[in-house]
Amino acid sequence: MTELAASDPLPKPKRDFAPVLLPIALALVMIPLVGSPSTWLTLTAASLAMGMMIFIMASGLTLVFGLMDVLNFGHGAFIAVGAYVATLVFAPFAASVQADSLWVNLAVLAPAALLSMAVSGALGLVVERVLILPVYGQHLKQILMTTGGLIVAEQTLYALWGPQIIPMPLPSSLRGSFIFGDVAIAKYRVLATLIGLAVFVAIQLVLNRTKLGLLIRAGVENREMVEALGYRIRRLFLGVFMTGSALAGLGGVMWALYREQVHASMSDELTVLIFVVVIIGGLGSIGGCFIGAILVAMIANYGGFLVPKLALVSNILLMVAILMWRPRGLYAVTSR
Amino acid sequence: MTDLLKLSGVHTHIGRYHILQGIDLAVPQGQVTMLLGRNGAGKTTTLRTIMGLWQASSGEITLGGMRIESLATPDIARLGVGYVPESMAVFSDLTVKENLILAARDAAMDDTQLEWIFGFFPALRRFWLSRAGSLSGGQKQMLSIARAIIEPRKLLLIDEPTKGLAPAIVMALIECLKEIKRKGATILLVEQNFFAARELGDSVLVMDNGTIVHRGEMADLAADVPLQERLLGLSLEAHQ
């Protein structure tokens, strides 16, 4: 390999658009396979909404993986706790939830989501200090500790709320669909998509336009060097962990409203999806996580419609295919 | 001359391995002290132990008279210690500018200092907004050194800056380090390139098996070929 001299012009950095084109290509390929344009639009909208919810839940986990090199198998606990906390707000204000006014509905929904984020974030603080801190750098112990933490969290929820499924009805104004000709797009899915996009944009702005974001991006790549420059990265770890936990709590509320129910093991069905998203996106990559979440949701929706029997394994097949194409995920950030 | 950095009886273990086995060294203020030795002698471990990246198992490390061996790496960095690791460790996903913004920490970048750096490393100005990952090896090394000197530092720890670089870039780096030295910087420099060591060093320490086996003036070692052969397994001529 020849060494470039200092004065030699640099090769232009290549922008990698292939992963971005992947979901677009997948959606286009599905048009003839699905057949009906209205069904295709409905499935695509459902995929976007589901993808955004998965992205919100997975975004924190990918940063925790990338920045802290922590395998947090207990991430699902924050999702379930977030959902349960929301029921505490919804229950006493059931009449407001069922009111016909969007603003009245939002007056309950917004505080419920914020409280869920706050409690999940606080739980993240406890988990990081108590479970993660003693086992930094020890992956096997991290898996054991966080899996144990998940079990304790689930059993605590069972003990406090009981084993029954708790209904969590959608607020009245979020029920129903927007109708465009033959196409019906559920209102809640539109809201979920908008919230997901807002979270994505907010994370991107923080990561790319602030010094805190610079530190996080640098820390994902080389924690040691960030410390050698004089930054206390442990505090950054804690902040990222709490933010990731809070986002998981928000995702839990949104998923509970999507399913209109809450139960202690609700995160079980999501954990696999979230890990698939984080792995195929590339550890620590928010962009990869975003695209990965949309791909996973597309495969679940299109696959469920076209080949229902493949639904159980479709995401694993997707992961295998992506990793054969790019072994470190769609956008490799870390060398781990 | 006052010693800025002193290590006394420093031992470092990495896992089960006893790497530094009682290091005693002093780095005088305003001088370039070369740390030489064969591969695996413990040079990088010495720098990493000073920087707090590996904890000393025992012994004392003082910087300007202050004990630092139990401080965390960020606190040591904030005392004015700049570190250029062997791997360069530039943040590939960040631009040249962003790498330097992080290195400047809380302060805004000093334009005069920046211009001075650009004088040595014009490539950094040209690729100011390019991702560091797209720089060549030499340009990454320039960025790594620029990151360490963007703010005034009391002490620079530099680990094999010329490793794997083209001769022209090595010469540019040597000139830059000479200029940093002329400005009164105190540097502890690990180097395998004996030519660079001879050009830059005031004093020299030679390590073997985790201990200092020789200390003296760089000029004396450069003039003593049999001693070089005995300590380093090389002669100056072989490395010119």
pTM of the model: 0.81
pLDDT of residue A335: 55
Which of chain B's residues have a Cβ under 8 Å away from the Cβ of A216? none
Test B91 with A225 for CB contact under 8 angstroms: yes
Structure tokens at B23: 């290091």
Angstroms from B65 CA to nearest CA on chain A: 20
Looking at residue A13, its pLDDT comes to 54
CA distance A329 to chain B (A): 16
Report d(CA B25, CA B215) in Å as an integer.
Answer: 9
Residues 185-224 of B with CB under 8 A from A: none
Q: In angstroms, rounded to a whole number, what is the distance separating the alpha carbons of residues A291 and B238? A: 55
Q: Tell me which of A60-64, A225-229, B67-71, B105-109 is least confident.
A: B105-109
Q: Give residue A274's pLDDT.
A: 93
Number of residues written out for chain A: 336
Contact B94 A6 (CB under 8 A): no
A92 contact B CB<8A:
no
Q: What is the pLDDT of residue A4?
A: 42
Q: What is the pLDDT of residue B240?
A: 47
Tell me whether residues B123 and A3 touch, CB distance under 8 A: no
CA distance A285 to A209: 16
Does the distance separating the beta carbons of A13 and B131 come in below 8 Å? yes
Nearest residue of chain B to residue A227 (CA atoms): B74
Q: How far is CA B181 from CA A285, B176, B202, in A?
A: 41, 9, 10
Partner-chain contact B73 A211, CB within 8 Å: no
Report the mean per-residue pLDDT for chain B: 89
Which of B89, B102, B134 lies nearest to residue A10, judging by beta carbons? B134
Minimal Cα distance from A6: which residue of B?
A: B123
Q: How far apart are CA A66 and CA B90, in angstroms?
A: 17
Does A228 sit within 8 Å of B73, measured CB to CB? yes
Q: Which of A214, A232, A233 sits opposite B101 (nearest CB)?
A: A214
Report the C-alpha gap between A192 and A297 in whole angstroms.
Answer: 13
Q: Which residue of B has its CA nearest to A335?
A: B92
Put simply, whether A224 touches B (Cβ < 8 Å) is: yes
pLDDT in tens, B153-178: 899 999 998 888 888 888 888 888 88
Q: pLDDT 10s digit of each residue in chain A, 336 long?
A: 334 444 455 555 567 888 999 999 999 999 999 989 999 999 999 999 999 999 999 998 998 887 777 889 999 999 999 999 999 999 899 899 889 899 999 999 999 999 999 999 999 999 999 999 898 878 899 999 999 999 999 999 999 999 899 999 999 999 999 988 888 899 999 999 999 999 999 999 998 889 998 998 898 888 899 999 999 988 888 999 999 999 999 999 999 999 999 998 888 888 989 999 999 999 888 999 999 999 999 999 999 999 988 877 888 899 999 999 999 899 877 655
Cβ of residue B162 closer than 8 Å to a chain A Cβ: no
Report d(CA A78, CA A131) in Å as an integer: 14
pLDDT at A120: 96
Beta bridge partners of B66: B63
Q: Are strands A166-167 and A261-262 parallel, antiparallel or unpaired?
A: antiparallel
B37 CB-near residues (< 8 Å, 6+ apart): B43, B206, B207, B208, B231, B232
ipTM: 0.90
Question: Which sign, positive or negative, has the C-alpha torsion B182, B188, B193, B197?
Answer: positive
Q: Smallest Cα–Cα separation from A96: which of A173, A188, A165?
A: A173
Tell me whether residues A218 and B102 touch, CB distance under 8 A. Answer: yes
What is the Cα–Cα distance from B72 to B87, expressed in whole angstroms?
Answer: 21
